[in-house]
Structure 1
Amino acid sequence: MARGIRNNNPGNIRGASYQWVGETGRDKDGFVIFSAPQYGVRAMYRTLQTYRNHYGLMTPSGIINRWAPPSENNTGAYVAHVASVLGVAEHEAIPLEKYGELIKVIIKHENGVQPYSDEVIHAGIAAA
């Protein structure tokens, strides 16, 4: 099972100086462990909102270059995948109404699977 699914952290968010809502600990590599996947989705959405509102990152290229930096990932392929699935250009702003889909694409790319229902995704977004 992929780390993100096992940790209820489908975005593979690393721990920070604060504790996330629903955080129960961190694994040996510093990735947050959540008590339920909705909390992991909530953290993803809040992170994406921070990217948008505080850093002006609204495009697949801007978002994914920060989410999955080239020093650790094949970011170019990740950006292309996100843009393709969402039907936007790599440097085109992603509409807010597509953020649920963006979360699903990130989950799939990070874990190789996207096992969560729309209800889980929407519950995480609503909790943000």
Structure 2
Amino acid sequence: MNEARGVRNRNPGNIDYNPVNQWQGQLAPDPAIEKRFARFDTPENGIRALGKLLLTYQRKHGLKTVKAIINRWAPSVENDTAAYVRAVEANTGTRPGAEVDLAQPTVMVGFVKAIIHHENAGYAYPDAVLAEGVRRALA
């Protein structure tokens, strides 16, 4: 079976590699394996980085709605952003345009789950892996 790139890299949010980001569990870059995206030692640390980045969008950049966060996460030049937003709203039980609080574990889990599903062709991690990654992000 051919795993999605994000699953293979244990980076289910498909976070671009940036030497400035010293993510917990991030592996050294290896262009022979992956030219663009970060790679992690465990899916939990990849999920942690995804959650931390979402929290930064909310806290530092003041992005409060699913649409605002996803527009930054997944620019429309690469994605069907409207469909992406609808999927995240459905997964988090959020009304379109409503503010979300990513510091709430249930909201973060729904958000992360929807992003992983979208970024990795429908892939889903076991609930325990997801919960631990989110726990690390919110710690």
Same fold (TM over 0.5): yes
Choose between structure 1 and 2: higher helix proportion.
Answer: 1
Q: TM-score, normalised by structure 2?
A: 0.84
Which structure 2 segments of 5+ residues have no match?
none
- 8 Å contact 2:108–2:134 — kept in the other structure? no
Q: 2:127 aligns with which of 118, 121, 124?
A: 118
In the TM superposition, 1:2-81 aligns within 5 A as 2-16=4-18, 17-26=20-29, 27-81=33-87
Shift of 1:43: 0.2
The root-mean-square deviation of aligned C-alpha atoms, in Å, is 1.5
Distance, in Å, in 2 between the alignment partners of 1:68 and 1:102 is: 13
Letter in 1 for 2:40: F
Moved more, 116-125 or 63-72: 116-125
Choose between structure 1 and 2: higher strand proportion.
Answer: 1
Give me the identity figure in percent: 40
Distance, in Å, in 2 between the alignment partners of 1:118 and 1:85 is: 14
Distance, in Å, in 2 between the alignment partners of 1:52 and 1:119 is: 25
Shift of 1:86: 2.0
Change (3 A) 1:102 1:31: same
Change (3 A) 1:42 1:2: same
Distance, in Å, in 2 between the alignment partners of 1:81 and 1:2 is: 19
Letter in 1 for 2:9: N
How many residue pairs match? The answer is 128
Moved more, 34-43 or 93-102: 93-102
Which structure 1 segments of 5+ residues have no match?
none
Change (3 A) 1:87 1:52: same
2:99 aligned with 1:93? yes
Distance, in Å, in 1 between the alignment partners of 2:123 and 2:41 is: 18
Q: TM-score, normalised by structure 1?
A: 0.91
